[in-house]
């Protein structure tokens, strides 16, 4: 996180192109967060990766459930798809990070926990949209909506639905005897929030 903020500040001050350093820092940040959330329980992450990837592919080609959007070539590495679409390869892991952290923060069991995790993830996405579509330019909305970054209301609902489904699978794959410990997720999301806030301030 500190490295990413320092790099952003240096780029802003000097006008130099960071080249591959920026995407490498982004990938490292996401994968570090994913490891902190799942750790030795990495097998729980597999359904979340699949759910996130399927939801994004569905969204790119049908505009459901998030609205009409397209990824740019900024979120390297990207996989070119038919009909001139791009799919960032780190994207499923970003879903695992947010959905997994949201589930870790949600207390309780069963469907109430899944619903609360879905709501947390949808709320987390709100400030992310303004940074990801603004200074980072990772994706663009084809039809602007009223939410931060021009996101449509469908995006909030889509995030809620997809994250709730992911949380349902995490419920099924978890051991109810485990001690509830939201601290790692809170630290990861807090750090991520600081990073996004720093990027926003440095690129104003």
Check residue 136 and give its pLDDT: 84
Q: Pseudo-torsion of CA 33, 38, 43, 44, nearest 10°?
A: -110
Residue 5 has pLDDT above 50, yes or no: no
Indicate left, alpha or beta for 125 from its phi (over 0: left) and psi (-120 to 50: alpha).
alpha
55 versus 17: the higher-pLDDT residue is 55
Residue whose C-alpha is closest to residue 77's, from 129, 125, 20: 20
Residues whose CB is less than 8 angstroms from the CB of residue 4 and which lie 6 or more positions away in sequence, other chains included: 25, 26, 29, 195, 199
Check residue 29 and give its pLDDT: 86
- Residue ranges per domain, the chain? 2-202
Model-level pTM?
A: 0.86
Check residue 198 and give its pLDDT: 73
Q: What is the DSSP letter of 74?
A: -
- pLDDT tens-digit readout, 95-138: 999 999 999 999 988 999 999 999 999 999 999 999 899 888 89
């Amino acid at each position: 996180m500190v490295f990413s903020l320092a790099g952003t500040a240096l780029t802003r001050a000097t006008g130099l192109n960071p080249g591959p350093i920026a995407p490498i820092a982004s990938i490292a940040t996401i994968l570090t967060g994913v490891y902190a959330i799942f750790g030795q329980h990495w097998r729980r992450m597999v359904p979340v990766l699949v759910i996130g990837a399927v939801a994004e592919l569905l969204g790119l080609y049908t505009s459901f459930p998030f609205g009409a959007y397209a990824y740019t070539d900024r979120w390297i590495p990207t996989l070119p798809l038919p009909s001139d679409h791009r799919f960032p390869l780190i994207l499923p892991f970003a879903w695992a990070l947010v959905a997994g952290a949201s589930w870790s923060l949600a207390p309780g069991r069963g469907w109430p926990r899944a619903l609360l995790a879905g709501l947390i993830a949808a709320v987390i996405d709100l400030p992310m949209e303004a940074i990801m579509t603004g200074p980072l330019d990772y994706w663009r909305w084809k039809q602007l909506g009223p939410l931060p970054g021009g996101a449509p209301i469908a995006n909030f609902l889509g995030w809620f639905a997809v994250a709730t489904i992911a949380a349902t699978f995490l419920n099924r794959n978890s051991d109810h005897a485990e001690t509830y410990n939201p601290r790692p997720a809170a630290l990861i999301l807090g750090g991520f929030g600081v990073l996004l806030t720093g990027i926003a301030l440095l690129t104003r």
